[in-house]
Structure formats: structure tokens, C-alpha cells
Structure 1
Amino acid sequence: MTVPTPDPNLDLSFTRDVPLPPEAIWTAWTVPEHLLPWFCPKPWQTVECGIELRPGGKFYTVMRSPEGETFPGTGCYLEVIPNRRLVWTNALLPGFRPAPVEAGEGSCGDFHFTAIVELEPIATGTRYTATVKHRDAAGRAQHEGMGFEAGWGAALAQLVEYMQAKSG
């Protein structure tokens, strides 16, 4: 599947080069015990995770705020290319069932999105690109206001630190 160029009016994206092989990043994204320690920026925590790693499969997390409030999120995998690309959306539930129009029950406010994580091997590790596609400018603005790049960037830094500690 070719991913269209991000639309700056609707999408948020960032690219970072990280000192891990794609396989390590893939493991961190696709094995619940490895996703839990890093998935949301501290002091938030991911306290539950369920992964059915196949198109139509469930991607489920529960995040806990520093105040103890929990935020469950359920999505559906759209594309799974091991060690290269992972695509999921909260606009669909497992089995490609449409999610309720009001997505406000999840950890991402009241907007639907499709997330794409792309892993490209490079000499020093992996070129990591995260893109989140939104239905409308309002959803994009809300996600940006929640600190998309800082939050996803902090989570990526935590992923790298966690996986380096696991292999060291």
C-alpha cells in the first residue's frame, strides 16, 4: 500500500532517525509486554494492552493519567507489514466494524484518526516516520493542541530507551 503524502491541513507527521533496528521497534509496537512501558509520555502510563496483529485485528490500550483517570482506546489494524509499516485506526473497531461517530470515549478526545508508523532501515538504525491522518481540520487542530509531536516524540524516546535497556 502506498501512503499518500500528508496533507498539512489534515495530517500530523514527524520523522526521526533512531539507533535501533526496525525489528526492535516492531517488537516494541506489536508485543503488549513491550508496548506497556513506553507507549504514552510519562508521567502518564499505559496500564493495559491487547493486540491482535492482523488486518481487522484489535489494537486496545488503556492509558492512566497522573491523577489516576483511565482512558481506554480501541482500534482496528488496517495494514501489518512486519518490520516496515503498521497502520491502524480508531474509526473502526475490530473486524472492520465502524466505531460510534462520537469517539470521545477513548484516549484521543473526540476525533477519529488513522495512524501510520513506517520503519526504514538506515546505516545507523531506523528512519521512523509517524503520520496521523484526521477526518477534518478540527480533529487535526485538537490533536496538535494535545501535543502530538511532543507526545509522540517523547513516547518514541521512551521506546528507544526501553529497547536499548532490554538488549544491553
Structure 2
Amino acid sequence: MAQETDTIDPQIDPCVATGAHNHALVLDRVLNGTPEKIWKAFMTPEILAQWFCPKPWSITDAVIEPEVGGRFAFTMHRPDGEVMPNDGVFLAVEPNRRWITTDAFVKGWLPAGMPFMVAEIVLTPLADGKTRYVATARHWSEETMKQHEAMGFHDGWGTVADQLNAILPSL
């Protein structure tokens, strides 16, 4: 089982370190796999589809181009048939260490309409072969942050981290 903490590390979260606005939600866990396995789980569409949304939701049509400006896109399906497309780009990519995506743009740096968030994943290897996994969702306003929280950020992103943790031994 993944371990969860409630602390924010100013070395990881530049909003805390700089005093910039901080409309962020953070999930901080220790996962039972290496940064390389976690990277593979995120950057391989077939693997991402196995764990990236809370069951019984599902993901199809994942497109992952891990380079600055490359696509990070997928479609989420609710059990009741609702379809939620998600299309965005990578803003930063440091293989096996850190990546940032946003829905503010689509490929070609075209504005995507009303942006919701910027997501950052930071992986820190630990001495025991585990990895500190910090997932941060930054929002343009306190209102959108609270909306994301009300949608179930902590439960949803926590469940997804647990699902990721469960498949890591098989990678």
C-alpha cells in the first residue's frame, strides 16, 4: 500500500518556495517501484490505460509524446456512458524524474479554451528501491482549485496512485 503524507516540500513546490499564488492540490506518496517503472507506467499508453483513472472508469485513445510540446491526451469513460476527452501538452520533460502537463494548450501551442490545471509529477528515488511520488495539480484560481477538490481530487488521485502502485511489480 502506498504511504501518504500531508507535507509540502518547498524544494519540490516552487509556489511554496517563491511565495507565488498557490492554488495547488498535492498528493505525496511513497510507491513500491523505481522512477523508471513509474515513468514507463505513465509514458506507455497501454499501461496508462490500466491504472490512470479510478475503477470502474476507463481510459481509451491515449496519446503520449513525452517531449516539450508533445501531446498528453486520453479519453475517460464513466460507467454510465459519459465521455470526457482530455487533451493537452507536455511543458517540461525530465525522463524518470519530472514532467509537467497542461490542458491550457493542445499540440502546436494552440490555446485549448478554458484551461483547468497544470499537473506536475516529481519522482525521487529512495534508498530502498521505492520512489517518492509527488503529484501536484495547480489551478488558475482558488475557485477552480476548490472545484477540483470538490470533484474528489484527494480520493481520485489517491486511488489512481494505489492502482499505479499495484501494477508496478509487473513492470
Contact 2:22 2:138 in 1 (8 A): no
The residue that corresponds to 1:51 in the other structure is 64
Equivalent position SS for 2:50: coil
Shift of 1:132: 0.7
Output aligned runs, 1:64-83, within 5 Å: 64-83=77-96
CA distance in 1: counterparts of 2:90 and 2:39, whole angstroms: 14
Alignment partner, residue 19 of structure 1:
32
- For residue 142 of structure 1, report the CA deviation from its aligned partner: 0.5
Residue 118 of structure 1 and its aligned partner are, at CA, apart by 0.2
Is there any run of 5+ residues in structure 1 with no aligned partner, and where? Answer: 102-110
Partner residue of 2:120? 116
Q: How many residues align?
A: 156
Counterpart Cα distance in 2 of 1:28 and 1:21: 11
Question: Which residues of 2 match residues 26-105 of structure 1 at below 5 A?
Answer: 26-101=39-114
Relative to structure 2, which stretch is displaced further, 125-134 or 91-100?
91-100
Q: CA RMSD in A?
A: 1.6
**1:163, distance to aligned residue in structure 2 (A):** 2.3
CA distance in 2, matches of 1:162, 1:120: 19
Give the match for residue 133 of structure 2: 128
**2:143 counterpart residue number:** 138
Aligned 8 A contact 2:32 2:168 in 1: no
- TM-score between both structures, scaled by the size of structure 2: 0.86
Shift of 1:5: 3.1
Distance in 2 between the 1:24 and 1:136 partners?
A: 33
Q: Tell me which stretches of 4 or more aligned residues in structure 1 moved more than 4 Å.
A: 6-9
1:152 to 157, 165, 170: 157
Render the CA deviation track for 1:82-128: whole Å, top value 9, x for unaligned.
00001000011112221113xxxxxxxxx510000000000231000
Query: Retained in 1: the 8 A contact 2:15–2:21?
Result: no
Aligned counterparts of 2:65 and 2:22: Cα–Cα separation in 1: 32
Matched, 1:5 2:15: yes
